[in-house]
Amino acid sequence: MARGKLILIEGLDRTGKSTQAAKLVESLSNQARLVKFPERSTPIGKLINQYLKESETHLADQAIHLLFSANRWEVAETIKATLLEGRDVVMDRYVYSGIAYSAAKAVPGMDVQWCAQPEKGLLKPDLTFFLTNSESELRKGFGDERYESSGFQTKVRHEFETIFKNYESQDYKNNHIVFLDTTGKSIEQVHTSVGSAVEEYIQKNSDVEEFMYF
Ligand code: NYM
Ligand code: MG
């Protein structure tokens, strides 16, 4: 039996990631599984949730970065097991969010390389969507979680762009990335674009069995 595909939906806050990830999972046939990061229900996830929700919860920037990464490692084994069962896994955020949000803080020493280090060895997605929306930073109604301000989002967008600019380099070999601007598009329109890219990828790569790692 062929292994399932690991599909990632990435992007800034409020670009429609969670909606699209949920719709994609629904449309895939083989009991696909949705995994959202941060996974807030685990012991580390609860700490992350508290940090995001309560501005008085202080954690060093390095510490919270490592917790976000550890949260991925907490779930890593079950993701691989699900793929080996032949089921697809759709992730809502992953390594790239981890790097972009932390690097955007511009803490001395915490550059992209530093931020990427604890992610080494995690499974690389087979297919990554990067959602942008030119209105997302301007939109009203950002929640009141940490990081949810237009000033910080602009910095995060910068970091995402720097990360993905090098996507044709060795690091990104065999790593398929689809850039999707959702500005002015309906949920259904975006879903159709995502769905057809996934279908095309699966048709062309049905025989890919080996895993890729960061
Ligand atoms: N976030 C998410 C990080 O800073 N690092 C990470 O590794 C991940 C996965 O958490 N503003 C940030 C981005 C979001 C926040 O995510 C919560 P969401 O998708 O809004 O629940
Ligand atoms: Mg959010």
SS3 track for 80-123: HHHHHCCCCEEEECCHHHHHHHHHCCCCCCCCHHHHHHHHCCCE
Domain with 135 in it: what CATH number?
Answer: 3.40.50.300
**Residue 213 forms part of a structural domain:** no
Average pLDDT taken over every residue of the chain? 92
- Per-residue pLDDT of 81-115, as tens digits, reads 999 999 999 999 999 999 999 999 999 999 999 99
**Residue 210 forms part of a structural domain:** no
Distance CA(143)–CA(17), nearest Å, equals 15
**Residue 77 forms part of a structural domain:** yes
Of 93, 107, 115, the one to substitute when testing ligand 1's pocket (max ligand atoms within 8 A of C-beta) is 93
Q: Is the CB of 98 under 6 A from ligand 1?
A: yes
Helices and strands of the chain, counted as H and E runs: 7, 5
**Residue 40 forms part of a structural domain:** yes
125: cis peptide before it, omega within 30°?
no
Into how many domains does the chain fold?
1
Average pLDDT in the 22-35 region? 95
Task: Provide the pLDDT for residue 143.
Answer: 79
| 3-state secondary structure (DSSP) of residue 58 | coil
Ligand 1: residue whose CA is nearest its atom 17: 38
pTM across the whole model? 0.95
Q: Is the CB of 14 under 6 A from ligand 1?
A: no
* ipTM for the predicted complex: 0.98
**Residue 195 forms part of a structural domain:** yes
Q: Which domain holds residue 187?
A: 6-204
**Residue 1 forms part of a structural domain:** no
Amino acid of residue 83: L
Give the phi and the psi of residue 8 in degrees, each rounded to 5: -120, 135
Q: Which ligand is nearest to the CA of 52?
A: 1
**Residue 35 forms part of a structural domain:** yes
* Lookup result for tokens 């975006």: 190
**Residue 122 forms part of a structural domain:** yes
Q: Cα-atom radius of gyration of the chain, to the nearest Å?
A: 17
Ligand 1: residue whose CA is nearest its atom 3: 98
Asked whether residue 169 carries a pLDDT value surpassing 60, the answer given is no
